[in-house]
Amino acid sequence: ETGVTQSPTHLIKTRGQQVTLRCSSQSGHNTVSWYQQALGQGPQFIFQYYREEENGRGNFPPRFSGLQFPNYSSELNVNALELDDSALYLCASSFGTVSYEQYFGPGTRLTVT
């Protein structure tokens, strides 16, 4: 078990709604990365936050946004949900921006109907 926690565990939303997912990083870590994992696929990098600033972004539209707080916890916000947003959302914390070793949380399973 890593020290990374995510909430909620499961979530069902309707198309067009907005959702906020939360992640608490492992103690001592200052970087959080978010990933989207569709069924049967590998995780896809969404973005990374380092010391409260966005530090790198994958190929995701602006309706995916995030925040990192002074305690290095983080939120992922998705606006105008689409059916294809249904996936497992994973956050990973690390020390520093170079992802030599990330510790993943258990994920939030989002279903959009």
Partner 1 sequence: SQQGEEDPQALSIQEGENATMNCSYKTSINNLQWYRQNSGRGLVHLILIRSNEREKHSGRLRVTLDTSKKSSSLLITASRAADTASYFCATDAGNRDDKIIFGKGTRLHILP
Helix and strand counts by DSSP (H, E) for the chain: 0, 11
Shortest distance, CB of residue 17 to partner 1, whole angstroms?
Answer: 23
**Does residue 41 bind partner 1 (CB under 8 A)?**
yes
**Does residue 92 bind partner 1 (CB under 8 A)?**
yes
Stretch that binds partner 1, among 11-19, 61-69, 77-85, 88-96 (CB under 8 A): 88-96
Output 26 or 78, the one with its CB closest to partner 1: 26
Q: Given the DSSP bridges, would you call strands 10-13 and 19-24 parallel, antiparallel or unpaired?
A: unpaired
Cα(3)–Cα(28) distance, rounded to whole angstroms?
10
